[in-house]
Amino acid sequence: MKKVIITGASSGIGEAIAMEYASKGYALGLIARRMDRLQALKDKLSEQGSIVAIRALDVTDDQQILPTFESISDELGGVDIVIANAGITAVHRTGKDDFEMNRKIIQINLVSAMATVDAAARLFRESKSKGQIVGVSSVSAFRGIPGSAAYSGSKAGFSNYLGAVRMELKNKGISVTTVHPGFVATELAENMEKYPFVITAEAAAKTIVSGIDKKSANIIVPKLPWSVLSHLINVVPDSIVSRVF
């Protein structure tokens, strides 16, 4: 039985990925801040026959990430995949709103995400296992979204970081996958219906898990139209990008 650890697993894409892996017979290590939501998810999946370990963790407390991974790994009898999914989104108008929100976005989406990947790499290195690390970024890494500058910056930084880590860990037998979701309807993102090409978290999870199983270096969700737009978006005039978003 393969085992997967997922951060930010109590809702949205993380929860959908957990349910998708449960349907494939994986043992699950689920991590999030909200223990009540994790417990409810564990109860649901356990009733369906899944093996589930849960831990409450705020990923901004980066010193606790590795011990939490080690604890879950001990409970599950090892780990094959770690998915750094925890993140936040917010609309923030530059020079208008409190800058503290920008700081929080960068802390969670970039610094804490990097700490999660680093802890996963340490876990695999110390156990001498050929695991897989997955980082959930965003299509906003390809070009910044007006009104979400800090979010776009955090995801661009995370994608770049993951690309470097992929090359660094390749000779250690540890694979690294970057996930670039487009617009996904979840409770964390309001008014998603106004954005183009919106899909459900469940649809996103199926594509993501399929790509992870293939050990793809990069997964774009959904593949169309974003795999095409990712190559074109940087030549689109600012006026069009502003109008779309």
**Residues forming the active site:** 151
Q: What are the DSSP E strand ranges found in the chain?
A: 3-7, 27-32, 52-56, 81-84, 132-136, 175-181, 184-185, 199-200, 218-221
CA 10 to mean position of chain CA atoms: 12
Retrieve residue 106's tokens.
């960068």
Q: What is the dihedral of CA 36, 38, 39, 40, to 10 degrees?
A: 90
Give the C-alpha separation, 234 to 36, whole Å. 42
Q: CA–CA separation, 105 vs 17, rounded Å?
A: 22
- CB of 83 within 8 A of CB of 26? no
Cα 169 off chain centre by: 19
Cβ atoms within 10 Å of 123's Cβ, excluding its own? 23
Using left for φ > 0, alpha for ψ between -120 and 50, and beta otherwise, residue 8 falls in left
What residue type is assigned to position 165 of the chain? Answer: V
Summarize the chain as % helix, strand, coil (round to 5).
55, 15, 30
